[in-house]
Amino acid sequence: MRYRILGPLEVHNNLSVATPTAPKTASVLAMLLVHANCLVLTETIMEDIWGENPPASASTTLQTYIYQIRGALGRGTIMTRPGGYSLPVDEGDLDLLRFRSKLDQGRCLLDMGQPSEALDELRCGLSLWNGRPLSNVRCGSLLGLDLQHLEEERRRAAELSVEAAFAAGRHREVIADLRMLIAKDPYDEWLHARLIEALILVGRRRDALQVYSSVREMLAEQLGLDPMQELRELERQILEC
């Protein structure tokens, strides 16, 4: 069984698709996959589905959802534990676990002074993402918080990949990566600063100044803010050279 949650929820059983179509059943499976190999309390699942005041039938209804998931995935997939459920998953069968493994490997390689190898691992991990996590699943407040944490992990992996590229001297190729990251998060001044820095290092000072001008105008017009100190310092460096 293969699972994907770094994008739309997808479940594949050999060559067939086993993704639940019922919204609440999909939500239960999503919660178990986000916390794969861990106990997820019954109360946690019920609160995410029904809020703080679940109906009297919630426990029985949840058991029905678990039964439906087992029917689609196989009887031995979801384990009943004291107080809740767990879904054992091998690293190779869930994209989230593979991503976290690549993130850990990339971080370790960067700390060991092997930035090129770290960059390759981090890019491999980031390539597992296919948009917003669980984009086709109705997420309650608790699962929504989990997804925010996943997005933070993705952001950290992207930042580490930029740091690794700089440490490896691969400034020219990181420019395209930075432009894609900025397109997704245009208000991230750290990313703009790294793009300007990379452009300076490859001799494209005019382009670097254009990036600064664009982000300054965007911040002023849309947020009423001035660029952060690091961006202003980079502009000064450009103009003094």
- Rounded to 5 degrees, what angle do the CA atoms 176, 185, 148 make? 125
The CATH number covering residue 178 comes to 1.25.40.10
Query: From CA 4, how far away is CA 21, in angstroms rounded?
Result: 15
- Rounded to 5 degrees, what angle do the CA atoms 61, 137, 31 make? 60
Query: From CA 82, how far away is CA 100, in angstroms rounded?
Result: 28
Instruction: Determine contact, residues 178/162, Cβ cutoff 8 Å.
Output: yes
> Is residue 162 in a domain?
no
Among residues 179, 183, 191, 202, which one has the least CA distance to residue 228?
Answer: 191
Among 59, 92, 125, identify where a domain stops. Answer: 92
Q: How many domains does the chain have?
A: 2
Token reading at 132: 């917003």
> Is residue 53 in a domain?
yes
* Residue 181: domain span: 171-241
pLDDT value of residue 74: 82
**In the chain, which stretches have pLDDT less than 50?**
none
Query: pLDDT tens-digit profile of 129-177?
Result: 999 999 999 999 999 999 999 999 999 999 999 999 999 999 999 999 9
Token reading at 72: 């689609």
pTM of the model: 0.91
Token reading at 83: 């107080």
The CATH number covering residue 15 comes to 1.10.10.10
> Is residue 97 in a domain?
no
> Is residue 124 in a domain?
no
pLDDT value of residue 208: 96
- Rounded to 5 degrees, what angle do the CA atoms 212, 215, 220 make? 120
Residue with the two structure tokens 């918080």: 145
> Is residue 142 in a domain?
no
> In this structure, is the dihedral angle defined by the CA atoms of residues 136, 27, 85 and 105, taken in order, positive or negative?
positive
> Is residue 132 in a domain?
no
